[in-house]
Every structure is written in C-alpha cells, then in structure tokens.
Amino acid sequence: MLIASLKPRTMGGTTNTGLLAYALSRAGHQVTCHDADESLQLAAWARDVDDFPGEVREADTPSFAETVYPAMDHSRINLVDAGHAENHPDIVDSVLEVADLVIVTVSPTNPDYDRLTRPERGTPLAKVIRRSAALRDSGEPPATVVLLNRCQAGSNSPKRFTDLLAGGGQDGTLPRWNVLATRIPRREAIASAVGFPCNKPERKAPYDALVTELTRLGHLPAPRGSR
C-alpha cells in the first residue's frame, strides 16, 4: 500500500513521516519510504543514521504515478513524504493519483488552519484531494485523515481546531476533515528528530499511538508476522 504524507506548507511533515516509518517498523510492518520533496530531508535522515527502518528512495517527480509507483513493492507499506502542496502541486497531484491513504499534517494554529482551508494563493488542499478522483482507478479520492502536530499540553487549541476542521469551519460551509484522535505533542525531542536516531521515548509513544489508531480505523493491514 501507499501512504502519502502531505501538508500545505512547513508543518512537521518530514518529522511525522520519518517517526511514523519507525513506528510502523516497530509494529512489525515492512516499510519503504519515498522522498517526493525537493529538499530531500527524509532521504538525508535515512543516510545519516544507522537505525532508519528500510530505505528512502528519491522520488521528487511529477511523474510519480507513472515512474515511482509501478516500481514499488506493494506488499510493503510505502510511505511518501511530499513537499509543500502550495509550491509543488504537480508532484502532489501525481502522488494523489495512486495513494491509498493520505495523512495531512497540520498544527492547531490560525496560520496553519488558514493555509489548509483558505490559502491566499493556490488551491485549498481539500479541493486538490477531491479533484484527484478524476485520475484514480476507483474514481474516488483517497481516504484522508488529519494529524494534528505540535500540540501544546494543556492548551484548548487542538480541540478547537479539531471542531473547526471536522465541522466545516465556523459556519459549516468548508470541507469536513477526518481528524485523528492521536495528537503529536509539541516536544523538543520531536523538534530535533529529523536526522537523528529514534532513541527517545518521546519520539516513539505518540507515533505508536498513531499506528494503533490507523490500524483500528482499518487503514493499515495486519503486520506480516500476525497474518
């Protein structure tokens, strides 16, 4: 299967993609990552540490669906880190053509919420995802979930933005998102995760919870050992 990690702009996408790859591997899945962001930070992360699960392939191409996807081992979980949807809509469109599950990383803040729902320039991500249906074999857009990142302990913002995202905004007219119950906390150990080993409990626990939730929701296959 193919999981796409998307975000409208810098929101913790690479951090979430890499730490999710580690968590999937801890749960017994075989993982291959694909770096579809021109900055190639995920590929550099895998190169710089000894414990990164599986390989990361460079895949920053607008022909992702035609060249990268067919060459994947589809019995593994393939995880692709896409760059800014605002700046690289061509690559994101191609990823959306073939993704089975989309995880959108957003922080519960006004600027990130606005960039997701009402960008000053460019097409809102919900519309980009919806229109991908036209190019997909199923004729339907991919299953999509929102993962809140950088959530401050004790703050009511995660709940407030969950309600806004799930309820279609203040007046209910915006697209409605499936917001995961798992929230990634704002933590120094996570802020400094990219490029370093996954050797701290704070880098593991929230992402283990994410894998548990995605499995419960039916988005992930059973790990190989348990089939």
Expressed in angstroms, the distance from the first to the final Cα of the chain is: 16
Binding mask 61-100 for ligand ATP (x = CB under 6 A): ----------------------xx----------------
Binding mask 14-53 for Mg ion (x = CB under 5 A): x--------------------------x------------
Query: With CB cut-offs between 5 and 8 Å by kind, which of ligand ATP, Mg ion, none does residue 12 bind?
Result: ligand ATP
Angle between helices 205-216 and 13-26 (to 10 degrees): 70
- Least Cα distance to 185 among 196, 170, 175, 200 occurs for 200
Write out the H or E segment, with its range, that includes residue 21. helix 13-26
Among 135, 191, 205, 222, which residue interacts with ligand ATP (rule: CB under 6 A)?
191
- How many whole angstroms separate alpha carbon 131 and alpha carbon 140? 9
Q: Give the tokens for residue 4.
A: 């796409």
Among 76, 187, 200, 219, which residue interacts with ligand ATP (rule: CB under 6 A)?
187
Applying CB under 6 A, the residues found at the interface with ligand ATP are 7, 10-15, 37, 39, 83-84, 149-150, 184, 186-187, 190-191, 194
